[in-house]
Amino acid sequence: MIDFRLDEEYEALRKTVEDFAHAEVAPVIGELYEKEEFPYAIVAKMAEMGLFGLPFPEEFGGMGGDYFALCLALEELARVDSSVAITLEAGVSLGAMPIFRFGTQEQKETWLPDLCAGTALGGFGLTEPGGGSDAGATRTRATLDGDSWVVNGSKAFITNSGTDITRLVTVTAVTDVMENGRKEISAILIPSGTPGFEVAPKYSKVGWNCSDTHELSFSDVRVPAENLVGTRGRGYAQFLSILDEGRVAIAALSVGLAQGCVDECLQYVKDRVAFGKRIGEYQAIQFKIADMEVRTHTARLAYYQAASKMLRGEPFKKEASIAKLVASNAAMDNARDATQIFGGYGFMNEYPVSRFYRDAKILEIGEGTSEVQKMLISRHLGVA
């Protein structure tokens, strides 16, 4: 019989992160969010807890856990704030994971210890101003000049790319063009501070205001030939496999936001009185919260199942897309309903549901839009 109960280690981790989120994140994140400040102190505390090293082996300074452990941590963080959760998600699955999955032993030994310790962050440079999901739109180029790659181009919407502790970004770049006109795309590791590597001012965003996001430009950036990550010509394919894992993580984060909306509403409807009754006594409110709980429960089961297949080494691309689609929809719908339940207070930034509403929409866009997920699901069903 299938058993969805967490074992003792997973439950202990989940409870530890839950307590941390309420004790350390909740009291300060509202002010940081309004100031659009990166939460360095919170990140440092998460680093001390070992969260950035959760799915990595101990030989590189990791905790020896797995990807599901990371997902549990992301869900609990996002119940309180998604900016903090996405900083962890991007730091692990986008910053460190490409090096762990595809890097050389030397690259792993050089970069992973600090990334696992959380004392350094890495970026994941796939999206460009003219395209993200479309590999053919990649315009950044890397030319092999002797024993160096020379990189020119730009990347857009790159998380963790401009903090004081950012140490690198791994980017996709066109390294050749085949006779049939198809682009050869490879992955190149570029350390922060390399001459010609410029980080633009941070974006003014609708949500995720404590998350660090920038456009990057590369003008004759020269790095050693050994900074090729993985196999030449396989950079885009490598990044797609990283995104498959990342979609499970984003699904977990989305579930956390959806659950946070339920949490806040359950407390609010006990206190708020309208027409002489607590609003939780009205059936309209009861049904709305019931719908929110159903969405959250269903989305959690979806990401659990995708993570289970991933950890067993089975194909999970379709399940990752289903989980990401269902969970991001749940987050967006729950945020809208929570804001409606809170009424005018839901429009005030002092209440968490206003942050949830602002943060939810990007979950239907980042790491593959909802439309891309539907395309992938259809393709796996043999429709496309």
In which residue are the tokens 């590369």 written?
Answer: 218
Please provide the DSSP assignment of 178-221 as one string: -TTSPEEEEEEEEETT-TTEEEPPPP--SS-TTS-EEEEEEEEE
- Rounded CA-CA distance 74/92 in Å is 11
- Look at residues 232, 201, 233, 234 and name the one whose alpha carbon lies nearest to residue 216: 201
Q: What tokens appear for 182 in the block? A: 């198809």
In which residue are the tokens 């950079």 written?
Answer: 235
The answer to whether the CB of 185 falls within 8 A of the CB of 174 is yes
- Rounded CA-CA distance 173/126 in Å is 9
Q: Given its phi and psi angles, is residue 157 left (phi above 0), alpha (psi -120 to 50 degrees) or beta? A: left
- Rounded CA-CA distance 345/351 in Å is 7
- Rounded CA-CA distance 235/172 in Å is 6
CA angle 364, 366, 372 (to 5 degrees): 70
**Catalytic pick among 128, 215, 264, 367:** 367
Active site residue 367: yes
- Look at residues 183, 210, 236, 2 and name the one whose alpha carbon lies nearest to residue 87: 210
Q: What tokens appear for 267 in the block? A: 């407390």
The answer to whether the CB of 251 falls within 8 A of the CB of 319 is no
Q: What tokens appear for 350 in the block? A: 């002092």
Q: What tokens appear for 37 in the block? A: 């400040």
- Rounded CA-CA distance 201/247 in Å is 27
Q: Which residues does the annotation mark as catalytic?
A: 367
